[in-house]
């Protein structure tokens, strides 16, 4: 079983910051990042599994240029036309696959109402961890989530200039809380990193990128894809709503899991913060953000629903992957290896 205390490629002064390739396309992007291949020589992806390791890592690498990037990577690559063209060719099959697999529709209220109904006997990872999960499984869960939570709320920030009125005001209010309400020590990404430290995990940004499977990367890539494209601002809002509406009950179960497993109070602080905060955020999102956006731009209702459904699809698949792995007594993280 993989030791989740470390990943095989850490960002340290003595080790390369770039992750390992997972196929020819991600390998080519990494060669460009390392200065070993001209950007004009990037391959055109064809026939890749839209949910597979090679496409999802290559897309994640392209997106990361808009976040913190990687040490030593030329900052000019962020807007290089050849790399942007590759990103477009990766996004299209991913987006098409998501559109083909969700039901669609334009009933935003109905989509949100469905999220508010929790099963009497849930079976997802937070239920498993709360009732019977082991400490190594909790650590794995946190390792998966670190790919997003160490940049928490950043993907959704791109939608701010694309909104107006109460929709913008409500989203910014929630984001203000996510970014610590003016206090650096309360920034949610920082609290998550402190939880990782308490659990004996490496909290370095991207410490677990090499071992995060494609489905984990996909749950983050979809947020970035929606956030970067003005065309998909409705879907970005839908994805944001999904997180804020469903976070509070799941966070409560994860606190219960940590208490049962005897973790420190400091380790529990991240999810405790989300029990109360996201209960408040749910009302802001539903009555302020969604209601105002759809009243101003009713044509975006199908995109809002798509954002909810596409993100739910990916989250459900990640949950299934975790539970199937754990039921088999094996790690849900991948072994890092050159492809």
Taking the C-alpha atoms of residue 151 and residue 294, their distance in angstroms, rounded to an integer, is 28
Query: 37 and 145 share a domain?
Result: no
In a domain, 336, yes or no: no
Query: 38 and 137 share a domain?
Result: no
Q: How much is the pLDDT for 164?
A: 97
Taking the C-alpha atoms of residue 19 and residue 301, their distance in angstroms, rounded to an integer, is 38
Q: Provide the β-strand partners of residue 15.
A: 12
And the tokens for 182? Answer: 């003016």
Q: What mean pLDDT do residues 215-235 have?
A: 98
In a domain, 5, yes or no: no
3 state DSSP class of 15: strand
Domain hosting residue 31, numbered range: 24-99
Residue 276's pLDDT band (cuts 50, 70, 90): confident
In a domain, 14, yes or no: no
Residue 83's pLDDT band (cuts 50, 70, 90): very high
End-to-end CA distance of the chain: 20
In a domain, 219, yes or no: yes
Q: How much is the pLDDT for 7?
A: 36
Query: 153 and 257 share a domain?
Result: yes
* Listed residues 66, 99, 132: the one ending a domain: 99
Contacts of 107 (CB under 8 A, 6+ apart): 301, 305
Average pLDDT of the chain to the nearest whole number: 92
Tens digits of residue pLDDT in 16-65: 489 999 999 999 999 999 999 999 999 999 999 999 999 999 999 999 99
In a domain, 13, yes or no: no
Residue 279's pLDDT band (cuts 50, 70, 90): low
Query: 174 and 59 share a domain?
Result: no
Q: What mean pLDDT do residues 160-184 have?
A: 96
Q: How much is the pLDDT for 2?
A: 45
3 state DSSP class of 79: helix
Half-sphere exposure at residue 200, Cβ-oriented, CA atoms within 13 angstroms: 9
And the tokens for 110? Answer: 């109905």
Does 93 have pLDDT greater than 80? yes
Residue 3's pLDDT band (cuts 50, 70, 90): low
Query: 77 and 113 share a domain?
Result: no
Query: 87 and 153 share a domain?
Result: no
Residue 295's pLDDT band (cuts 50, 70, 90): very high
In a domain, 284, yes or no: yes
Q: Give the chain's radius of gyration (CA, Å).
A: 19
Does 97 have pLDDT greater than 70? yes
Contacts of 281 (CB under 8 A, 6+ apart): 174, 177, 244, 247
Q: How much is the pLDDT for 120?
A: 62
Half-sphere exposure at residue 29, Cβ-oriented, CA atoms within 13 angstroms: 33
Q: How much is the pLDDT for 11?
A: 33
Q: How much is the pLDDT for 199?
A: 98
* Listed residues 63, 81, 99: the one ending a domain: 99
Does 8 have pLDDT greater than 60? no
Query: 56 and 136 share a domain?
Result: no
Taking the C-alpha atoms of residue 171 and residue 199, their distance in angstroms, rounded to an integer, is 31
Does 338 have pLDDT greater than 60? no
Query: 181 and 92 share a domain?
Result: no
CATH assignment at residue 179? 1.20.910.10
Q: Are 67 and 154 in contact (CB under 8 A)?
A: yes
Residue 1's pLDDT band (cuts 50, 70, 90): very low
Query: 40 and 171 share a domain?
Result: no
Query: 250 and 127 share a domain?
Result: yes
* Listed residues 80, 99, 118: the one ending a domain: 99
Query: 68 and 33 share a domain?
Result: yes
Query: 115 and 82 share a domain?
Result: no
Does 119 have pLDDT greater than 90? no
Taking the C-alpha atoms of residue 116 and residue 110, their distance in angstroms, rounded to an integer, is 10
Domain count, the chain: 2
Does 14 have pLDDT greater than 60? no
Residue 78's pLDDT band (cuts 50, 70, 90): very high
And the tokens for 280? Answer: 């408040």
Helices (H), the chain: 24-33, 53-64, 81-101, 108-116, 125-131, 135-149, 154-157, 165-178, 188-198, 214-228, 233-260, 265-283, 291-296, 301-327
In a domain, 335, yes or no: no
In a domain, 198, yes or no: yes
Q: How much is the pLDDT for 117?
A: 80
And the tokens for 269? Answer: 């602080």
């Amino acid at each position: 079983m993989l030791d989740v205390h470390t990943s095989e490629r850490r960002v340290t002064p003595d080790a390369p910051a770039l992750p390992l390739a997972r196929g020819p396309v991600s390998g080519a992007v990494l060669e460009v990042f390392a200065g070993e291949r001209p950007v004009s020589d990037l391959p055109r992806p064809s026939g890749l599994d839209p949910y597979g390791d090679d496409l999802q890592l290559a897309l994640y690498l392209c997106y990361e240029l808009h976040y913190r990037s990687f040490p030593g990577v030329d900052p000019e690559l962020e807007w290089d036309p050849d790399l942007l063209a590759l990103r477009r060719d990766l996004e299209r099959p991913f987006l098409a696959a998501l559109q083909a697999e969700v039901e669609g529709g334009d009933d935003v209220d109905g989509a949100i109402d469905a999220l508010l109904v929790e099963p009497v006997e849930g079976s997802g990872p937070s239920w498993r961890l709360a009732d019977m999960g082991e400490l190594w499984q909790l650590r794995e869960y946190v390792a998966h989530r670190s790919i997003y939570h160490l940049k928490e709320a950043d993907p959704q920030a791109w939608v701010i200039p694309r909104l107006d009125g109460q929709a913008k005001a409500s989203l910014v209010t929630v984001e203000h809380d996510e970014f610590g309400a003016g206090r650096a020590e309360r920034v949610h990404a920082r609290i998550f990193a402190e939880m990782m430290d308490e659990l004996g995990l490496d909290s370095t940004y991207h410490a677990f990128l090499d071992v995060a499977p494609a489905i984990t990367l996909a749950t983050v890539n979809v947020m970035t894809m929606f956030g970067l494209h003005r065309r998909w601002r409705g879907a970005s809002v839908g994805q944001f709503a999904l997180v804020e509406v469903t976070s509070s009950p799941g966070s409560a179960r994860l606190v219960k899991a940590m208490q049962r497993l005897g973790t420190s109070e400091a380790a529990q602080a991240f999810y405790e913060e989300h029990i109360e905060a996201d209960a408040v955020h749910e009302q802001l999102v539903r009555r302020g953000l969604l209601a105002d956006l759809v009243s101003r731009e009713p044509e975006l209702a199908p995109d809002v629903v798509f954002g909810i459904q596409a993100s739910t699809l990916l989250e459900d698949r990640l949950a299934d992957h975790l539970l199937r792995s754990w039921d088999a007594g094996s790690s849900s993280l991948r072994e890092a290896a050159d492809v």
